[in-house]
C-alpha cells in the first residue's frame, strides 16, 4: 500500500493505492488539514510519495509557497516519505512537447496533465467508458478528478518501479 499526494495551497489530491493488487483503495481531493489529520491518524506508516514543486527560474507565487509548506507538513507526519519531481512523472508517462513540424502545421500542444490522464485511462480499460464509466456502471476510475489524476500518476509510476 502506498499514499501518493499532489499537494496544493488549500486542497490536495491523494490516492491510497494497493501495489500488490494494482487497485485504488481510496482517493479524493480534500482540504489540506483533513489530509494531514488522515496521515496522522491512520496513514503515518504507509510509504508516502509527494510531488514537490521544483524551481522554474521565475518568481514564486504565494500559492507555490503554500504548496511547499503543505508538502513539508505531510512529510513531517509520515514515517516513510519520498519527494517526487514532476518531470519524472512526465517522463514515466512518455509525455512530449510538440515537434517543430507539428508547431509549423498549427498543431496545438496537448498539456502534460491531459496526456497523463489519457494514458491512465488507457491503462485502466482503454476507453473512457470502460475506465471511468457512468454512475449506473462505474469503472475503476469513476470519481477521479482534478489533482487526483496527478496523485494517481505518481502512484502508478512508483508501483511500476
Average pLDDT across the chain, whole number: 90
pLDDT tens string 139-155: 999 999 999 999 999 99
Q: How far apart are the first and last CA of the chain?
A: 14
- The residue with greater pLDDT, 61 or 77, is 77
For residue 102, the enclosing domain spans 2-160
Question: How many Å is the maximal CA-CA distance in the chain?
Answer: 54
Residues in the chain: 161
Q: Which residue has the cell 505531510?
A: 74
Q: Which residue has the cell 506508516?
A: 45
For the segment 29-56, the average pLDDT, to the nearest whole number, is 93
Alpha carbon of residue 114 to chain centroid:
12
What are the grid coordinates assigned to 41, written together? 491518524
Q: How many folded domains does the chain comprise? A: 1
Q: Annotate 25-84 with DSSP letters as a single string.
A: EEEEEEEHHHHHHHIIIIITTS-EEEE-----SSPPPHHHHHHHHHHHHHHHH-SSEEEE
Least confident of 18-27, 55-64, 126-135: 55-64
For CA atoms 15, 16, 18, 19, give the dihedral sign. Answer: positive
- The domain that holds 94 is classified in CATH as 3.30.420.10
Alpha carbon of residue 21 to chain centroid:
19
Let me know: does 19 contact 159? Beta carbons within 8 Å: yes
The percentage of the chain sitting over the pLDDT mark of 90, rounded to a whole number, equals: 71
At 88, the pLDDT band (50, 70, 90 cuts) reads very high
Amino acid at each position: 500500500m502506498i499514499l501518493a499526494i499532489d499537494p496544493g495551497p488549500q486542497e490536495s489530491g491523494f490516492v491510497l493505492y494497493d501495489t500488490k493488487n494494482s487497485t485504488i483503495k481510496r482517493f479524493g481531493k480534500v482540504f489540506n488539514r483533513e489530509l494531514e489529520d488522515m496521515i496522522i491518524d491512520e496513514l503515518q506508516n504507509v510509504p508516502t510519495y509527494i510531488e514537490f514543486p521544483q524551481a522554474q527560474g521565475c518568481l514564486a507565487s504565494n500559492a507555490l509557497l503554500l504548496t511547499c509548506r503543505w508538502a513539508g507538513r505531510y512529510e513531517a507526519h509520515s514515517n516513510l516519505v519520498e519527494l517526487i519531481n514532476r518531470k519524472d512523472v512526465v517522463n514515466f508517462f512518455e509525455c512530449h512537447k510538440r515537434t517543430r513540424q507539428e508547431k509549423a502545421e498549427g498543431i496545438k500542444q496537448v498539456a502534460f496533465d491531459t496526456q497523463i490522464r489519457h494514458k491512465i485511462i488507457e491503462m485502466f480499460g482503454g476507453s473512457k467508458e470502460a475506465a471511468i464509466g457512468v454512475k449506473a456502471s462505474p469503472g475503476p476510475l469513476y470519481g477521479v478528478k482534478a489533482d487526483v489524476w496527478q496523485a494517481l500518476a505518481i502512484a502508478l509510476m512508483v508501483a511500476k518501479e
